[in-house]
């Protein structure tokens, strides 16, 4: 390896360490920090790919890496300096999971980085831990195929024990293992074709002409999957509004609501606007979509997406959907989409940091907020109107249980069969009339939705 190549890789590791430090210490979002780093630093395509791999790979396998590192530490990893802790994790990921980076390079560069960040003593500490880990790796330890305990499963699949316990209870042991295995895979970039501007076939041809590998999605008639993708802003057609970034499972929510041109639709909790823009497209940009969100940055994202996609039927409003929405009269909306704030446990392929940031108490807190939002949204729906409640999580407390409680309190609503409204190729994604996409079965994010009609 040349000196310039070593310097570049050191820079990449330094960037990865800083991103993981922010995720760990401040509960920041990895994708936001990574996008910012890729914009600010002139890296080659290889270095951009390495930075992405180090960040996401380390987050996916953090539980297993931490367990291996703990065997070579005299005190808990959590009590180690945060910068060194994440530097050790990055090095551990390279030693345990990456074959193309030589072990000596991973160790030496990590030691140098520790020295530059925390001094000679820290460098010696990192060197000792990694050399010990490397010796242990060389000897090898065969995994126990009869792993039974929750703690062992949590380490093997790199998920927190509380979440393993919950999923084993809700899905069964084998399905929980499959789910966690799927969560540790890379997610493709999923796009939704803007049918107001072009067709899926036209967008795929545009990508092919530019030498970009892309394929039609399996379940949504508007989905295009791109892998690897690079910066989405650099894809042909992005700046001219030919597509919107949106997961394929998320795209199916629009079909489930099934809006009709000329209707008035409320999209509560609408940021960043993926579903807002989809609803407007499905309505042929005719009618009104009221996009509500209480976050000012979220509102700005919705406006940017509406402008880029040249959608005119949507009206954006900063307000709390859990309270009275100014200017919105009761029973004034034909359809309502409540894409509720949730724990996000269905999106761990793209956001692996979530599993280390969420706690079981978050699920209880969020389920209460979701129930409040459901009750508030129901007031705005016309008789015979339709409301879809959706989350991107896999938690019964946030999903089925919320709908069961709502229906018990609101006899004027009934649950409709989701399969009747989904595209034919997606109708298997139904469980007890609810829409449910599963990473291990469908290769998508985990999603849940219930379609409710106000019958009186």
Local structure of residue 386 (DSSP, 8 states):
E
Residue 56 exposed, middle or buried by CB count within 10 Å (0-12, 13-18, 19+): buried
- Buried/exposed 266-298: b ≥16 CB within 10 Å, e otherwise: bbbbbbbbbbbbbbbbbbebebbbbbbbbeeeb
Alpha-carbon distance 58 to 200, whole Å?
A: 35
Which CA distances in Å does 188 have to 20, 108, 215? 22, 33, 11
Give the Cβ contact number of residue 442 at 10 Å: 19
Q: Do 401 and 409 touch, CB atoms closer than 8 A?
A: no
Catalytic residues: 392
Q: What tokens were used for 147?
A: 């792993």
- For residues 229, 232, 234, 236, the Cα torsion angle rounded to the nearest 10 degrees is 90
The answer to whether residues 250 and 274 touch, using CB atoms and an 8 Å cutoff, is yes
For tokens 């999603």, name the residue: 447
Question: How many CB atoms lie under 10 A from the CB of residue 317?
Answer: 18
Within 239-394, strands assigned E span 243-245, 264-268, 288-293, 314-318, 333-339, 381-391
Whole-number Å distance between alpha carbons of 383 and 410 = 13
Q: By the 8 A CB rule, do 327 and 346 touch?
A: no
Strands 314-318 and 288-293, by their bridges, are parallel
Contact 157, 177 (CB under 8 A): yes
**In angstroms, rounded to a whole number, what is the distance separating the alpha carbons of residues 52 and 186?**
11
CB-CB neighbours of 138 under 10 Å: 8
Show the tokens assigned to 454: 């106000």
Peptide bond into 99 cis (omega under 30): no
| Alpha carbon distance 321, 163 (integer Å) | 29
Query: Could you give the CA distance from residue 253 to residue 54 in angstroms, rounded to a whole number?
Result: 33
Q: Tell me the HSE value of 364 on the side-chain side, using a 13 A CA sphere.
A: 3
What is the DSSP code (8-state) at residue 195?
T
The answer to whether the beta carbons of residues 17 and 83 sit under 8 Å apart is yes
């Amino acid at each position: 390896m040349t000196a310039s190549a070593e310097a570049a890789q050191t820079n990449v590791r330094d960037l990865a360490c800083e991103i993981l430090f922010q995720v760990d210490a401040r509960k920041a979002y990895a994708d936001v920090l990574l996008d910012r780093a890729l914009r600010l630093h002139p890296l080659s395509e290889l270095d951009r790919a390495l930075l992405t791999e180090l960040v996401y790979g380390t987050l996916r396998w953090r539980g297993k890496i931490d367990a291996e590192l703990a065997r070579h530490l005299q005190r808990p990893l959590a009590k180690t300096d945060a910068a060194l802790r994440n530097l050790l994790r990055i090095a551990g990921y390279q030693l345990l999971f990456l074959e193309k980076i030589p072990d000596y390079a991973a160790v030496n560069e990590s030691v140098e980085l520790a020295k530059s960040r925390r001094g000679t003593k820290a460098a010696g500490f990192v060197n000792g831990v990694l050399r010990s880990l490397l010796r242990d790796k060389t000897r090898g330890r065969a995994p126990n195929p009869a792993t039974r305990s929750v703690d062992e499963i949590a380490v093997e699949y790199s998920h927190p024990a509380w979440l393993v316990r919950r999923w084993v209870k809700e899905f069964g042991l084998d399905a929980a293992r499959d789910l966690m295995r799927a969560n540790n895979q890379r997610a493709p970039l999923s796009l939704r074709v803007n049918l107001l501007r072009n067709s899926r076939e036209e967008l795929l041809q545009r990508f092919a002409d530019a030498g970009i590998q892309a394929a039609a999605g399996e379940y949504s008639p508007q989905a295009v999957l791109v892998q690897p993708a690079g910066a989405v802003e650099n894809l042909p057609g992005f700046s001219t509004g030919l597509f919107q970034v949106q997961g394929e499972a998320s795209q199916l929510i629009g079909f489930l609501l099934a809006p009709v041109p000329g209707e008035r639709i409320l999209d509560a909790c609408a940021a960043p606007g993926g579903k807002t823009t989809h609803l407007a497209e499905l309505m042929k940009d005719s009618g009104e979509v009221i996009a509500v969100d209480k976050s000012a940055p979220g509102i700005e994202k919705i406006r940017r997406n509406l402008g880029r996609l040249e959608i005119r039927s949507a009206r954006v409003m900063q307000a709390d959907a859990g309270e009275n929405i100014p200017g919105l009269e009761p029973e004034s909306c034909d359809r309502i989409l409540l894409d509720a704030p949730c724990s996000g446990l269905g999106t761990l392929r793209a956001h692996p940091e979530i599993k280390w940031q969420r706690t079981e108490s978050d699920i209880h807190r969020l389920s209460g907020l979701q129930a409040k939002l459901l009750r508030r949204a129901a007031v705005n729906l016309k008789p015979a109107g339709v409301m879809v409640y959706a989350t991107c999580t896999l938690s019964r407390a946030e999903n089925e249980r919320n709908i069961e409680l709502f229906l018990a309190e609101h006899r004027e609503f009934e649950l409709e069969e989701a399969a009747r409204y989904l595209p034919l190729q997606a109708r298997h994604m139904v469980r007890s009339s609810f829409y449910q996409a599963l990473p291990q079965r469908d290769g998508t994010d985990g999603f849940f939705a219930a379609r409710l009609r106000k019958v009186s």
